Structure 1
Amino acid sequence: MVDIRKNAPATGVSELFQLLRDGRPRTRSELAELVGVARSTIALRIDSLMELGLVAPVEDAASTGGRPSSRIAMQADTKVVLGADVGASHLRVGLTDLSGTCLADSSRDLLVSAGPERVLDTVAELGSGLLEQLGRERTDLLAVGVGLPGPVEHSTGQPINPPIMPGWHGFDVPGYLQDRFGVPVLVDNDVNVMSMGERQAAWPDVEDLIFVKAATGIGAGIICNGTLLRGADGVAGDIGHIRVPGGAELLCRCGNYGCLEALASGPAVARKLQESGLSAANGRDVVALVAQGEQEAVRAVRQAGRDVGEVLSACLSMMNPSVIVIGGSMALTGEHFIAGVREVVYSRTMPLATQHLQIVQSVSGMDAGMLGAAMLALHHALSPESIDEMLAARV
């Protein structure tokens, strides 16, 4: 993982907190040696962090004689952040502690096409309900993270011409939610935050990873050299709108023909099954039919995996990741979808690029977006700059 201490300014208290963010208890002497200051200076900085409720003493360390040395560690349970995963047809909202552990979550079916006000009001409603459920005050909330199913301008948090989100272009999502929660709001593309959540949960030491979400839409979050790759305009990884030969003249929701999403997404597979006489209105129905052993559904899902594998083969040659993670509702079909991906990727890509490659199902499952959005909020809330702001507000 990237060493967050590299970017921590030498402001003393905030620098010290970055050392303690890993959750490992340390004595004052150990901290003084690591930071390179006197033990008395460390004691003052620890006192400041304790006043903020961010660190506290834990069980005594073994002593070599005399008074035992108290160890200091981050207090993960004193504050919380809110993560919101806004999908094309659902919302999933969760509260996590400062270690990223989910404390409570809630979900609701809601089309993103209902518009920003209705969707974000529902996020605020669910988030406020979770705070009340846990007996938390609004002052316990440090930040909110949101993942949206479309391109997002990272500097402003505003959606930019999202193809499946009518009424969202240029909408001030951070400002709208900040008015309701009174804390900083961070916004990014949903697959980007999923890649962050999955890496945190299962692949913390992997530097090059592609997370593929295959659900109502198809997209990819790219971790390159340990850093999330957004691109110049925030659309890196938008593989769902790459034209594929098998798409023929299928009309995509973005207005173009032949996109991967129009061929291999959950709704696209459902339409194919309808044409075969099966009852399937969406990706969930496809998953249910596969679980029932319906062979036509299994064949359609396997082919959808092959179609995604075609695009990933090109991505693999460009990015050379060591792990490809498959998430979203289509991953819930078990090995059938992933087997199709593997079949094409391993047969179409140079052996040197695949000799150590793992193609796996998401560990976080349907929680990946919510957990990733919470990580987005955590990285901001616990940054050196944010800690400095907390200290300044205390004076």
Structure 2
Amino acid sequence: MVDAVRATGAPVSGAGEIFQILRDGRARTKAELANLTGLARSTVSNRVDALLASGLVRPAGEAVSTGGRPPARVAFNPLAGYVLAADLGATHATVAIADLTGRIVASRTHPLDIAAGPETVLDVVIAEGGALLDAETDARARLAGVGIGVPGPVEHSTGRPTNPPIMPGWDRFDIPRYVQGSFDVPVLVDNDVNILALGEQSVGWPGIADLVFVKVATGIGAGIISGGTLQRGAQGSAGDMGHVQVPYSHDSPRPAGDERDLEAIASGTAIAAELRSQGIAAAGSADVVDLVRSGHPAAIAATRQAGREVGEVLSTVVNMLNPSIIVLGGSVARAGEHLLAGVREVVYRRSIPLATQHLGIVQSQGGETAGVMGAAIMVIQQVLSPASVDARGARA
């Protein structure tokens, strides 16, 4: 970040811009900040004082003296605020609170049916979140925002789900307004795959600016980070690769006229249907995972073939976006290496050599809290933006 400021020569104005330099956690003196920004020391001093008053920056001891009184240092204070984060799946909810770096302070996961409807589900999130906040000293008073991921398409600008197929009763429901009835802070909502992409980048690939996260479970979707920024598209539907028609391949057992989309062919639900057609009891994704983990040959073969079908679509994504990393997550991906092997087999064969020469295709490392971490990061990116920090400093 510091190098970028120097290299571009961009003028730094406002306390919010100075704060962005301090977000790396390193303590600095006002003189160092003046040198980095090119601003007058008096200007830097005024803006650092505003950051200290806001609580976002704290005193961090003294630097080594070069003669005279040692200069004071300041640093980012990640406990200046908390974020309440929720990752809602089809059958579970994980609720957590995080500090302003995105570090999870506490979390809880419970079975929860998303089809129970928005009021029922969100009341659980509000109650669980309130309990977590109350367990930390002053956390409720310092709540900076709420981030929620849901398993369906979301119009991110309004936080309203749009025709979500597995969320009856949620279509166009005003999630932010409902939650703000209990927490008077900004409430941001996105689909679960986007927040998983943010969480996965933070946990496993913080230095990677071009990453695609693919979730293969009951459905299939992708979160796209390009140039360091999550790409949502014009209306928030970017990454919906589950509804892409799979290109025909002579290697596939599918008939040439098969026009089904990827989700209908390669999701956990689709794999279970294929196994049932072979006389194997498999009601859904969970049964597929159990069969694969037990070493069932037909389940392993069907899962690897599903990986190949996912690879057919991903090879186009690789050629178009040239990511550095593709991360596979979701319940089916966690069953073992078989889905991953199928994806690699096709992507490395079908994509252009320049796009794949340094491409990594890996399994998710984020674990159970990747979703809530991503939801927290989504909020942090907004509440710690230069404009938001300037507004907070003005209020202080």
TM norm structure 1: 0.89
Secondary structure of residue in 1 paired with 2:307:
helix
CA distance in 2 between partners of 1:171 and 1:45 (Å): 41
Q: Which residue is 2:24 aligned to? A: 22
The Cα RMSD (Å) is: 2.6
CA distance in 1 between counterparts of 2:60 and 2:332 reads 44
- Deviation of 1:275 after TM superposition, in Å, equals 4.5
Q: Structure 2 CA distance, aligned partners of 1:242 and 1:224?
A: 20
In structure 2, what is the Cα distance between the partners aligned to 1:156 and 1:247? 43
Counterparts of 1:154 and 1:179, CA distance in 2? 19
Distance 1:136 1:4, change over 3 A: farther
Match of 1:73 among 75, 97, 102: 75
1:286-310 deviation line (CA, Å, top 9, x unaligned): 3333233333322222122112111
Tell me what 1:214 maps to: 216
Q: Secondary structure at the match of 1:324?
A: strand
One-letter amino acid matched to 2:367:
G
Q: How does 1:137-176 map to 2 (within 5 A)?
A: 137-176=139-178
Contact 2:53–2:393 (8 Å) recurs in 1: no
Partners in 2 of 1:2 and 1:60 — Cα distance?
21
Structure 1 equivalent of residue 134 of structure 2: 132
Q: 1:2 to 1:168 in 2, by over 3 A?
A: farther
Change (3 A) 1:37 1:346: closer
- CA separation of 1:111/1:242 partners in 2, compared to 1, >3 Å: closer, same or farther? farther
Residue of structure 1 aligned with 2:185, choices 162, 171, 183: 183
- C-alpha distance in 1 between matches for 2:282 and 2:28: 56
Q: Counterpart in 2 of 1:315?
A: 317
How far, CA to CA, are the matches of 1:274 and 1:372 in structure 2?
36
- What is aligned with 2:108? 106
Match of residue 346 from structure 1: 348
Provide the aligned length of Structure 1 versus Structure 2.
387
- Which amino acid counterpart does residue 91 of structure 1 have in structure 2? A
Tell me which residue corresponds to 2:294: 292
Q: What is the correspondence of 1:265-284 to structure 2 with a 5 Å cutoff?
A: 265-276=267-278, 278-284=280-286
More deviation, 160-169/74-83: 160-169
Are the equivalent residues in 2 in contact too, given 1:327–1:366 (CA < 8 A)?
A: no
Distance (Å, rounded) in 2 between the aligned partners of 1:225 and 1:330: 28
Distance, in Å, in 1 between the alignment partners of 2:4 and 2:306 is 39
Q: Which runs of structure 2 are paired with 1:240-279 in the superposition (5 Å)? A: 240-244=242-246, 258-276=260-278, 278-279=280-281
Post-superposition offset of 1:313: 1.4
Query: How many Å apart are 1:154 and its aligned residue?
Result: 2.3
Unaligned runs of 5+ in 1: 250-255
Structure 1 residue 258: Cα displacement:
2.0
Structure 1 residue 204 corresponds to structure 2 residue 236: no
Q: CA deviation at 1:201?
A: 2.3
List runs of 5+ in structure 2 lacking aligned partners: none
